[in-house]
Amino acid sequence: MALKHQTPMLDELTKGPWPSFVADIKRVAERKPQCDDLLGLLELSYKDKEGHWKHGGIVGVFGYGGGVIGRYCDRPDLFPNVAHFHTMRVNQPASKFYTTDVLRKLCDIWEEKGSGLFNFHGSTGDIILLGTTTDQLEPVFYDLTHELGMDLGGSGSNMRTPSCCVGRARCEWSCLDTQDITYDITMRYQDELHRPMFPYKFKFKVSGCPNDCVAAIARADCSIIGTWRDNIRIDQEAVRAYVAGELVPNGGAHGFEKRPLDIQAEVIDKCPTRCMEWDGKNLKIWDEDCVRCMHCINVMPRALRPGEDVGATILVGAKAPILEGAQLSSVIIPFMKMEPPYEEFHEFVEKMWDWWMEHGKNRERLGELIQRLGLREFLKAVGVKPDPRMINTPRYNPYIFYDPADVPGGWERDPVAYRQRHQP
């Protein structure tokens, strides 16, 4: 079937060795008029050097304030099949595990009621259903919930869909049941997920170990990172086997050939706190200085393992560069056991949200609010005592200010009397 629109500029993106979204859309456009008009609209945008989508009001499904991103074309006269082209976000299963049966049913629903285009997955999770009309939103939502038991994800100024790594389902390093934590957050905070109430978006991400395979520390307002507080487990025989070239370093990530491991150069010298020592026979680790970077474990996975007293480090404040630039999250709670029913974590989250909703400006992420008002105010609000592990770099201000309530005996301050005693 010949396509309606000529797209010479878009066709440039089909050249070269890499997969092309243009080629994918053209393939679907042979059976879907929406995709044909989508290509024409995109070609016009490239030609005019401006987008041709407009904000035409808020659309959604009954009872939900998020999960649907309304999209309207500003040239419905030229591209009538994308006059409405709304996006739906669907809450992905924890760790993104699917059966082929679910995927086929999902494709059938969207083929019938939408454009047939998906994005697996959005940058922070969610199955993205790209393009449908207003009258199909409720039917799609009904099919998702009744046939597949799936729900919409978050959008707008609410809690976004939580996401996690594969956790203990497939990873031997995981210190957390990441799926259970993600499920608990999703089910406990349904109102926050579906009904926008925050100053701006809020993201939870759960990584089972400090390798942080979901990039929680770079992208989540609240990062939950699996860790341990006892000693790294060492198999000295396996360490010697790596040094002797009997085992493949890095779990085969950089090649499958066996070679002698230069443990001094490849492991010990790369330890950020220099907490390791090799005497030629045994590896010694001063665990009190270990910062859980995982490098030694990644290089010698047969020899080293995380400890057995496991839990989570809770960090807050990461975001992408929108207003104040990119931020990584900061340690707030160095260790929490993170076991069901997660009451300690829930208490922390709800205090954090109360403070953010009271003091946050419109479109101000939590990390930006902490940056504006200071970590001291945030710690007071959530009831957490300051800890050296929260510090990224030494401070430049030499003055220390105390709250009278924190000093034994306290003191009374009378600014008027002070100024009378110290006349200029």
What's the mean pLDDT in 322-331? 84
pLDDT of residue 225: 98
pLDDT single digits (tens) 184-215: 999 999 999 999 999 999 999 999 999 999 99
* Parts of the chain belonging to CATH 3.30.413.10: 159-229+309-390
Tokens of 415: 């600014």
The burial of 334, by beta-carbon neighbours within 10 Å (0-12 exposed, 13-18 middle, 19 or more buried), is given as middle
What's the mean pLDDT in 215-225? 96
Looking at the DSSP bridge assignments, the partners of residue 204 are 222
pLDDT above 90 for 279: yes
Q: Which CATH number fits domain 8-148: 3.40.630.30, 3.30.1330.10, 3.30.70.2500, 3.40.50.720?
A: 3.30.70.2500
pLDDT above 90 for 55: no
CATH 3.10.450.40 fits domain 159-229+309-390: no
- For the domain covering 233-305, report its CATH number: 3.30.70.20
Tokens of 200: 């701006």
pLDDT of residue 392: 75
* Parts of the chain belonging to CATH 3.30.70.2500: 8-148
Return d(Cα 84, Cα 74) in angstroms, integer.
Answer: 10
Q: How many other CB atoms sit within 10 Å of the CB of residue 221?
A: 26
Question: CA quadruple 233, 235, 240, 241: dihedral positive or negative?
Answer: negative
What's the mean pLDDT in 233-237? 98
pLDDT of residue 403: 78
Residues in the chain: 424
DSSP 76: T
Looking at the DSSP bridge assignments, the partners of residue 244 are none
pLDDT above 70 for 51: yes
pLDDT of residue 80: 96
321 pLDDT tier (thresholds 50, 70, 90): confident
Instruction: Express as a percent the part of the chain with pLDDT over 90.
Output: 85
1 pLDDT tier (thresholds 50, 70, 90): low
Please report, to the nearest 10 degrees, the dihedral formed by the alpha carbons of residues 7, 12, 16, 22 taken in order.
Answer: -40
Range from 59-63, 193-197, 349-353 that averages highest in pLDDT: 349-353
pLDDT above 80 for 271: yes
Task: State how far the alpha carbon of 140 is from the alpha carbons of 79, 107, 110, in Å.
Answer: 23, 11, 8
Q: How many other CB atoms sit within 10 Å of the CB of residue 181?
A: 25
Looking at the DSSP bridge assignments, the partners of residue 313 are 225
DSSP 282: -
What's the mean pLDDT in 358-387? 94
Residues 316 and 367 sit within 8 Å (Cβ to Cβ): yes
Pick the range with the lowest mean pLDDT from 250-254, 282-286, 328-332, 394-398. Answer: 394-398
What's the mean pLDDT in 326-354? 96
pLDDT single digits (tens) 72-116: 999 999 999 999 999 999 999 999 999 999 999 999 999 999 999
56 pLDDT tier (thresholds 50, 70, 90): low
* Parts of the chain belonging to CATH 3.30.70.20: 233-305
Mean pLDDT in the chain? 94
Q: Which residue has the higher pLDDT, 113 or 320?
A: 113
Residue among 20, 61, 60, 19 at smallest CA distance from 39: 20
What's the mean pLDDT in 131-156? 96
243 pLDDT tier (thresholds 50, 70, 90): very high
